[in-house]
Amino acid sequence: MKQGFYQKQSGVALFVALIMLLVLTVIGLSASQRSGLQERMAANMHLDNMTFSTAESAVGAFVAEANTGTSIDPNHVLFELRTTGAIVNRKYDKDGVRVANAFIDGDFGSGSLVATITPTILDDCDKSCGGFSLGISSSGASIGCRNYLLQGDGQLLKGGEVVKSETTRMWAREITACN
């Protein structure tokens, strides 16, 4: 009985197996292409997050530097900004030190992430100084706030070319004596 059963198949099992193999191949290729697309999307999102974090690091490093030391010291960043209207060294190195040209993720020449800060004085003496009770009274007090706009730029470089770039902004205040 078994011998007759095998003789009646006449290649049908082989044909079904080949069809199943073809279907599995198509499914596998489709899954492979889809996972490749997802991998590229994930890598792109990672690069976006990395450049945004670099921009945030520039702002954070500037705020940390502004909050240390004495702002009347000629070497202090706020003194430099207040007297010249700009700062000379705008990039940060891997140690968080402001320098002329550096990468935040490694030494010059081997890094790929650049963190740049651009501080701007928006108002030299804001008498209303929102959030503080300074300068509101009519007693003639000459105390107010110096308002800054801090713009942090993060760039990802590859071979000297900018691949990704992100910008973040933050407003900051410094209590000051007005003229």
Q: Which residues of 14-48 are buried (b: 16+ CB within 10 A; e: fewer)?
A: eeeeeeeeeeeeeeeeeeeeeeeeeeeeeeeeeee
* pLDDT higher than 60, residue 2: no
Indicate the domain borders of the chain. 42-177
pLDDT above 70: residue 43: yes
Position 141 scores a pLDDT of: 61
Structure tokens given for 164: 């990704």
Mean pLDDT for 147-161 is: 90
Q: What is the pLDDT of residue 5?
A: 58
Assess whether pLDDT exceeds 70 at residue 82. yes
Query: Given this model, what pLDDT does residue 140 score?
Result: 59
Residue 34 has pLDDT above 70, yes or no: yes
Token digits of residue 165: 């770039």
How far is residue 161 CA from its own chain's centroid?
17
The CA angle 162-91-47, to the nearest 5 degrees, is: 40
